[in-house]
């Protein structure tokens, strides 16, 4: 996936090919709805990779322009994300893995960990999937997972951070998915601000759009602490 020129200047490490040379830290990104790759998370990649000697990223592949069916895009992203994570770990077993998703991409990343499926926007039905096996080789190499402004944010989970920690998203998760996600608590941060209408039922739409302008550096600090 080629990085758009408008975003390329935000990213120091531009490698986004699954067949690139192995790096010590490899980031997977799931973009928000209707974003070009890598979307707003380009700033986050820049902050994480800054100062690291060997770091790159890879886009989780899925089709999600505004006219696409939300559920189909999520289902595709989850299937591809799990496959890409397993494939990279098989090829580069020593690499530390970081996974990040924003908005619709956060829904995808949550489903990668906890499994997914259900009824969502405009009544669409997303097929069920199982999450990544917590005991798999790939899961054991995950150092950090970042979920940003998720449609499926669920209140009062141990990995929730920011002022929206006790807020409910548009489609909170059932207990079985939460139990699967809880296995990853030590490597997981679910970011939500209380004024965000998508993840916390807030009333300020711009809040949903500015996470990476405001919080990329603090999130990168946490990722680096996980890597060390």
**pLDDT tens across 129-172, in order?**
999 999 999 999 999 999 999 999 999 999 999 999 999 999 99
What Cα–Cα distance (Å) separates residue 1 from each residue in 8, 60, 117? 12, 10, 27
By three-state DSSP, how is residue 183 classified? coil
CB 115 within 8 A of CB 130: yes
- How far does the chain reach from its first CA to its final CA, in angstroms? 29
CB 73 within 8 A of CB 124: no
Q: Per-residue pLDDT tens for 175-210?
A: 999 999 999 999 999 999 999 999 999 999 999 999
pLDDT at 13: 39
By three-state DSSP, how is residue 201 classified? coil
Torsion from C-alpha of 193, 196, 197, 199, nearest 10 degrees: -40
Q: Tell whether the model's pLDDT for residue 76 goes beyond 80.
A: yes
Nearest alpha carbon to residue 190 among 166, 165, 167? 165
By three-state DSSP, how is residue 44 classified? helix
Query: Has this prediction a pTM greater than 0.85?
Result: yes
Distance separating alpha carbons of residues 116 and 126, to the nearest angstrom: 8
Report the run of H or E that residue 86 belongs to, with start and end.
helix 70-91
Q: How confident is the model at residue 1 (pLDDT cuts 50, 70, 90)?
A: very low
pLDDT at 187: 98
Q: Residue 165, Cα to own-chain centre: how many angstroms?
A: 17
For the chain, give the percent of residues with pLDDT over 70: 92
């Amino acid at each position: 996936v080629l990085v758009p020129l408008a975003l390329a200047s935000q990213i120091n490490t531009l490698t986004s090919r699954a067949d690139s040379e192995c790096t010590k830290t490899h980031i997977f990104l799931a973009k928000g709805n209707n974003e070009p790759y890598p979307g707003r998370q380009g700033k986050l990649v820049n902050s994480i990779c800054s100062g690291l000697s060997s770091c790159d990223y890879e886009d989780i592949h899925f089709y999600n322009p505004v006219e696409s069916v939300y559920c189909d895009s999520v289902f595709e992203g989850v299937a591809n994300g799990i496959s890409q994570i397993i494939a990279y770990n098989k090829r580069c077993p020593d690499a530390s893995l970081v996974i990040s998703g924003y908005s619709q991409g956060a829904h995808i990343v949550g489903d990668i960990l906890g499994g997914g499926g259900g009824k969502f926007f405009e009544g669409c039905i997303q097929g069920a999937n199982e999450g990544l096996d917590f005991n798999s080789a790939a899961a054991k190499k995950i150092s950090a997972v970042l979920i940003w402004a998720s449609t499926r944010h669920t209140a009062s989970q141990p990995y929730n951070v920011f002022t929206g920690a006790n807020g409910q998203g548009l489609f909170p998760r059932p207990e079985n998915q939460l139990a699967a996600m809880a296995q990853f608590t030590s490597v997981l941060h679910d970011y939500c601000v209380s004024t965000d209408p998508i993840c916390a039922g807030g009333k300020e739409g711009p809040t949903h759009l500015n996470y990476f302008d405001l919080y990329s550096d603090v999130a990168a600090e946490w990722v680096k602490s996980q890597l060390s």
